[in-house]
Each structure stands twice: as C-alpha cells, then as structure tokens.
Structure 1
Amino acid sequence: MAAGDIHPDFVTVLSLLDSTAALRHAAEVVHRRLGADLAAGAERVGDDETVEVRAVVGGRTEQLNGLVVAPQIGLGGQATVLRRTVAVPDYCASRAITHDFDDPVRAEGLRAVMAAPVVRAHRLYGVLYAARRSVEPWADRDRQELLMLARQTAVAMEVADGAREMTEVAVYSERQRLAVRLHDSVGATLFGLRAALMSVEALLPEGPARERLRVAVEQAKHATTELRSQTRSLYDTPADKGLAITIRGDCRDFAARAGVAADLVVLGELPRLDTARSEALLKVAREALLNVEKHAGAHSVLVSMYATDDGVVLTVADDGAVSLPGPPDDRGPDDRGLGLSGLAERLERVGGRMTFAANEEGGSTLRAWVPTPTADPPAGP
C-alpha cells in the first residue's frame, strides 16, 4: 500500500505512534463513514490471535469494553480465521456464528453486525466492527469500505509497533552505555580508593586510627559490590532485544569510525532467536558494514530488521558504489570475498540464506534471512 493510498482520515493517526489510539481513531472513522450506530476496535492480545475490545464508539453500556474474543468465536473470531469481512443481518438470530456474546450484544440493542480483520503482511493486529440497531443486510460497498478501513488501520498499528520497538531498543541501548560508563569511571575510582586505603592501613599500628581505616576499606568494598550489581542490572537486556541492541551499537561505532551515517530500523516486534541464528545475523551485519567501509564509498547505510511469517530478515543497504558487482550466482568465490562467502555458508548451516544485489537508485543491498527455531525454510530465494 503506497503512502498516497492512505485516506486523509488516517494521516493524523499515523503520527500518533500508539496502536490503541490508532484503533480508537479507526472506530470513530467507521462510526462516521459507514453510518453505523456503534463501531468498535479489538486489539490482538494473544499468540493464538485472540483479540480484546478496547475501543467502542456509540455504545450505551460498558459491556462490550474488555470483551475477549478467541479465534472462531463470535463474528470477530470468525473474521480473524477467515481473514475477510463477515456480516450478519441479525446477530442473536444468526446460525452462522457462535453465540458466546449474545448478552452484551442484546444489552446494546445491536442487530446487524459486521467485522473485518485488521491484517497486514499476514499478521493480525485486531478486528474492526460496525453495527446497527436494526435488522438489515449489509451492502457490498459497506463490506468493502470496512475492509479498506481495517487495512489502513493495520498500517497505522504496524507503524506504532515499529516505533515502540525502536524506543525499547534505544532505551536498553542507553542503559548499557550508562552501565559501561559507570563501571569505567565510578568503578575505577572506587577500586583506586580502596587500594589507597588498604595501603595506608598497612602502615598504621593497631589502634583506633587503623580500625577506622579498616571500616572505610569495608565500606569501599561494599560500594564496589553494590555498583557491580547495579551496573549488571542496567546492562542486562531481554533476550528478544539483545540482537537489535548489539547491532545498534555496531552502527554507532561504524559511524564514528568511518564518518558514514548509519542507522538501525526495527520494523515491529522480533521473535526470539536461538544463539546460533542470532550470531549468524550479527556476523552478517558486521561483515556488511565492514564491506561498505572498505569498498562502497557510501554516504549513508541503513540496517533494517523485521519478522516474516517464518523467520527474521536483516538487510544492509548503502548509497555508495556496488562493491560486489552482479548477482551472487554469477560470481566465483574469489569475487564474493571470503567474508561474504563464509557468512553465506554460516547462514546455510542454520537454515538461512543471503542475497546481494545492486539498488536501482545506486548502492547495494545485502539481505539475510534465518528461520525461527520452529519454522521450515520457505521455497525460493
């Protein structure tokens, strides 16, 4: 979906960078544009694509708020499984759906109800609902309109997820930098202070002065131990953020060393990878940055990471010269360089693959994919 295809109603919400705000805005748009008596948005809350209603517009009660809808249950659960708009002219009388939620639907006086999945790139973000308090079938244009609004809501929620992930990566990265600075500065000072106190203590005869110094040595030791514990807590990061944080640090070091702007973009949440696959992607990122530094003459580099249905993709794109001309299959081992050849073999050992191609606008892009531990490699390059 191109940027020009985004309806003006959704331009503002893209800047909010909050998935719940995007969902509420979408419900307001559905309420207005479809002339619905009630509109609602549910957000995905479980790995099994369970959703929870978090935004209701036009409601008379609070019974729909917080409603948890599992796959295949009710109209929304059916929409998540079928991945299309589903509708009924009279909810409580319909034989096409389960009736787990008849009580809150009756409390709202709802009859005709329609639901569309909020999906982008096969990922479910939630469900949009439109409802009327009269019995009447939904027109095809209503179904199409709701589905279009759901797709644009998915774009906004994807942007929000990416922004949240990048914020978390940035926060943990700064925590690590602070931990290192504290260790190198305050830690070194405490170590030197304790050593000095111990040397003076050794020179003094037994007595009150030496006893006071002994207490000071113990206090310095305690402070060192506490600092070590606190810096370790600052430095530790969640397993699913560690790879992105490390690559972000590599980009920062590369920019300082090479004088070339380098950024990391994480698109949405990343699944947790095992050690072998994480190390393979990390090696790819570092070797690609080194390759750009040595051969590309680039002005900027963009490293991106995102999840697919079956794995994680890492790309390194630059705007310099194409240092390794031609597609990988047309080059011999000597042309590819031992570094990239070795990376390709390492990726293959963990079920992954790598491609390298020239960009139409100049520069080149290296793309590496590794499967999640439970995924099977997809067909094709």
Structure 2
Amino acid sequence: MSVVHIDRVHDCSHALDQLLQERDDLIAVLDRVVALQATAQLIRVTVGVDSGFVADLERPGRAVVRCMAGTRTDQMQNLVVPVGQGIGGRAMALGRAVRVNDYLTSSMITHQFDAQVRCEGIKSMIAVPVISRGQTVAIAYAAMRNVTQFGDCAVNRMREIADHAAAAIRVAAAAEDAKTDAVCAERNRMQNALHDTVGALLFSIGAQVRSLSDVVTDNPELDLRISQLRSDISAASSALRESLLALNNTDPDRALAVELAEHTRSFEARTGVPARFVQLDRVPPMDSERTGLLVAVAREGLLNIEKHARPLSVVVSLGMCDGGVQLVVADDGSGQVVAGPGTCVGVRSLVDRAARLGGRVSLVRDDDGGHTLRAWLP
C-alpha cells in the first residue's frame, strides 16, 4: 500500500471520528438527561473537583439530584432538595452561587442532608443555579473531599458551565416539543384516516344491512343472521369511536401548534413550496373562539399565498408578543396579494372577528417583497 494511500485512509478515518463525535454531541444536547449527565462530568473535569452532580427541577421550588460524576456512593441519587434546604436549596432561593468551605460545620446552610454528605465524604462545596429565561431549571454542584476554599475563579467556571447547561436544556426542550408535536400530528392523521375509511365503510355496511332487513320477510333464520350482523356492526362502531377518542386525546396546550403545523405541511405538499411552522414560545391554552380564529388566519394566509404570491418559501410562526398571542404568516413571493384598504373579503372578515375579541389582524406588503399576515389576540 502506498504512502499516499495510507495517508488518505488516515484522513478518512479522522474525518469519520469527527463526524461520530459531532453526532454524539448532538445527541447529548437533544436529550435533557444526557445533557445534565454531561454537565456533571464537565464540572468534575473543568473545575478540577472530586465530584460533580446536577439536581433537575421537578417542579418550582423542588429539585431532585439525577446526574452524578465521581461519587463513591448512591447516597445523593434521587435526593430531593426543596428550596432553602442545604446548599442547593439556598442557591435556588437566592438565585446565585453559594459556597461553603466545610459543609458539615457551615452556619450558612441548613443541615437536612448531613447524613448523605457525611457518607459521601464531602467537605467543601459550590452550588450554582442553572437559569434559563429567568427561571431556575436545575442546580449544579461541585464538591471536594477535603476542606478547601473555592475562589472566584472556580465560581466563574461553574457559572459558565451552568450557562452551557441552560442552553442545552433549552435545545432539549425544543427537541422534545418537536417530537411531541410530530406524535400529535400523526395521531390526528390516523384519526382522520380511520374516520374517513373504516367509519365510512361501517356506515355503508350498516345501511345495506338495514335495507336488506326491510326486504326480507317471513325468514326467521335470515332474520337471526341479520340481527347478528347489526350487533357486530354496532360493536365495531363502538370500538372505532373509542379508538378515535383515544387518538384525539391531545394536550390542549399543544393542540393549536399541531393544527397549525398540519396546515403548513399540507400547503407544502399541495404547492411544492418549502414551508415551515415555528413555535417561538409556549402559548397558554385559549378558548375555542380564539383558537379557531388563529387557525382561520393561518388557513386564509396560506390560501392567499397559494393563489397569488408565487413564493419561494413560507414561514408560519406562533409566539407571545406584547402580552398576547401572535400568529404570523409570511412569504417572499413576487405576486400581488391584496393588502391594505382593498384587502380581500376573507381577511376583512378575520379583522372583524379579531376586533370583537379585542385583537387585530393586518396584511401588509413587505419592503423587500413578499407579504406578512399578522394576527394578535390578548
């Protein structure tokens, strides 16, 4: 084998190793538990401590230690840390880093967890809240088994790690939301398919059986078989209804996003124009009138784009804005969608509906081409 060939093989092998590492890194930030476990490992290596661990917030004011690195026992595993208790609970309450030189003798903290700390042989500790968008989402800990004084450098490193962990948690949450939306959308597709095929078929069979029973007279044996058919159809219809109800069991918080994503995907399938739905924020549940209006805005906007805009791409976005919920349908088309005073009848109707709810709908032509249909509801 030539030297050139060997070098090329080595280069390819190095490139493959890099790709595999990038894949592992991507998986790490798409899974919350994996991201927090990586954070515990990073604390140990970066800060240079005996052990690192992370408590995930189970609910506001209550964290649970889930991920550990460098521990000797399982005493910390699944340890529940309420706000204000121990060093982690104090960091949660204050919203900032807390450090102690000797955990068991410190007067700065409460001592509900002394038994676990003593079993693990921990002396000095730092606890730093992991804050994402103004909310504490986890607690990061660094620990030493000898009495030492953590300096500002160690605290700053912990803060940097906490910032990276917060970003990883946001990415993991977005990935989980996308997966949940995809599952909800698939359930909706299955529900519609069952309703339109199996439901229609059962209705047709039932109608034919009823027609047959009207024709058949003075035939006890056939009457019995028809009665059995009716019973079987009724049982099948009942089972179908239960299946449809189960498939329709969608989280109300996600139902709007799922429906908007479905309309966007349907537009792309019909037109071949790249279209995507982006949920910028989680929106609170709304009543059926407000939800129906936002869906109607998306549908009207996509229909107008399909008819008139000749776009290269379309984006539908949903998020919070000015204390309300905002939906935007934007395209980069060169066609002429009617905007302003001459707005089409469909959009004018949406404007009136939004006004009755204290909201607003507008359709404008953008300075750089394309159009933006925007709806806002309080």
Q: Please give the range of the TM-score, normalised by the shorter of the 2 chains.
A: 0.7 to 0.9
Aligned partners of 1:360, 1:122: CA distance in 2, in Å? 35
Structure 2 match to 1:101: 113
C-alpha deviation, 1:36, in angstroms: 1.0
Aligned partners of 1:206, 1:305: CA distance in 2, in Å? 63
Structure 2 match to 1:328: none
Matched, 1:90 2:102: yes
Aligned partners of 1:236, 1:347: CA distance in 2, in Å? 28
Count residues in correspondence. 357
Q: Aligned in 2, Cα 1:284/1:188: closer, same or farther, shift over 3 Å?
A: closer
**Which of the numbers 56, 74, 80 marks the counterpart of 1:62?**
74
1:138 match: secondary structure: coil
C-alpha deviation, 1:353, in angstroms: 7.2
Matched, 1:189 2:201: yes
Compute the RMSD of aligned alpha carbons: 3.5
Aligned partners of 1:10, 1:167: CA distance in 2, in Å? 18
Aligned ranges for residues 200-279 of structure 1 at < 5 Å?
200-204=212-216, 205-266=218-279, 270-279=283-292
Aligned partners of 1:354, 1:102: CA distance in 2, in Å? 59
**Which of the numbers 56, 68, 71 marks the counterpart of 1:43?**
56
Q: Which runs of 5+ in 2 are unaligned?
A: 1-20
**Which of the numbers 334, 339, 342 marks the counterpart of 2:341?**
334
- Could you give the per-residue CA deviations for residues 268-312 of structure 1, whole angstroms, max 9, x where no partner exists? 755434445534543443444345445543222233445689665
TM-score by length of 2: 0.80
Aligned ranges for residues 326-365 of structure 1 at < 5 Å?
334=341
Structure 1 match to 2:316: 303
2:48 match: secondary structure: coil
- Could you give the per-residue CA deviations for residues 35-82 of structure 1, whole angstroms, max 9, x where no partner exists? 111100111211x24221100111122121111222233222232333
- Could you give the per-residue CA deviations for residues 215-248 of structure 1, whole angstroms, max 9, x where no partner exists? 1122112212221221222123121111111111
Q: After superposing the two structures, state which structure 1 stretch, 194-203 or 15-24, moved more.
A: 194-203
C-alpha deviation, 1:128, in angstroms: 1.0
Q: Aligned in 2, Cα 1:16/1:209: closer, same or farther, shift over 3 Å?
A: same
Aligned partners of 2:110, 2:38: CA distance in 1, in Å? 28
Aligned ranges for residues 282-297 of structure 1 at < 5 Å?
282-290=295-303, 292-293=305-306, 296-297=309-310
What amino acid does structure 1 have at the position aligned with 2:197? S
Q: After superposing the two structures, state which structure 1 stretch, 158-167 or 230-239, moved more.
A: 230-239
Q: Aligned in 2, Cα 1:369/1:86: closer, same or farther, shift over 3 Å?
A: farther
1:66 match: secondary structure: coil
Aligned partners of 1:242, 1:178: CA distance in 2, in Å? 15
What amino acid does structure 1 have at the position aligned with 2:251? P
Q: Which runs of 5+ in 1 are unaligned?
A: 1-7, 326-331, 372-381
Structure 1 match to 2:158: 146
Q: After superposing the two structures, state which structure 1 stretch, 304-313 or 144-153, moved more.
A: 304-313
C-alpha deviation, 1:104, in angstroms: 1.2
Matched, 1:163 2:170: no
C-alpha deviation, 1:9, in angstroms: 10
C-alpha deviation, 1:257, in angstroms: 3.6
Q: Which has the higher contact order (CA 8 A, sep 6+)?
A: 1
Note if contact 2:32-2:172 (Cα within 8 Å) is conserved in structure 1.
yes
Matched, 1:115 2:152: no
Q: Aligned in 2, Cα 1:27/1:342: closer, same or farther, shift over 3 Å?
A: farther
TM-score by length of 1: 0.80
Aligned partners of 1:178, 1:272: CA distance in 2, in Å? 24
Aligned partners of 1:143, 1:9: CA distance in 2, in Å? 29
1:87 match: secondary structure: strand
Structure 2 match to 1:176: 188
1:125 match: secondary structure: strand
Aligned partners of 1:9, 1:63: CA distance in 2, in Å? 34
Structure 1 match to 2:10: none
Q: After superposing the two structures, state which structure 1 stretch, 139-148 or 201-210, moved more.
A: 201-210
Aligned partners of 2:169, 2:325: CA distance in 1, in Å? 20
Aligned partners of 1:218, 1:99: CA distance in 2, in Å? 68
What amino acid does structure 1 have at the position aligned with 2:127? A
Aligned partners of 1:42, 1:124: CA distance in 2, in Å? 11
Aligned ranges for residues 6-85 of structure 1 at < 5 Å?
12-13=25-26, 16-46=29-59, 48-85=60-97
Q: Aligned in 2, Cα 1:303/1:89: closer, same or farther, shift over 3 Å?
A: farther
Q: After superposing the two structures, state which structure 1 stretch, 20-29 or 358-367, moved more.
A: 358-367
- Could you give the per-residue CA deviations for residues 162-194 of structure 1, whole angstroms, max 9, x where no partner exists? 111111111111111111111111111112122
Note if contact 2:340-2:363 (Cα within 8 Å) is conserved in structure 1.
no
C-alpha deviation, 1:26, in angstroms: 0.7
1:45 match: secondary structure: strand
Q: Aligned in 2, Cα 1:358/1:66: closer, same or farther, shift over 3 Å?
A: farther
Structure 2 match to 1:376: none
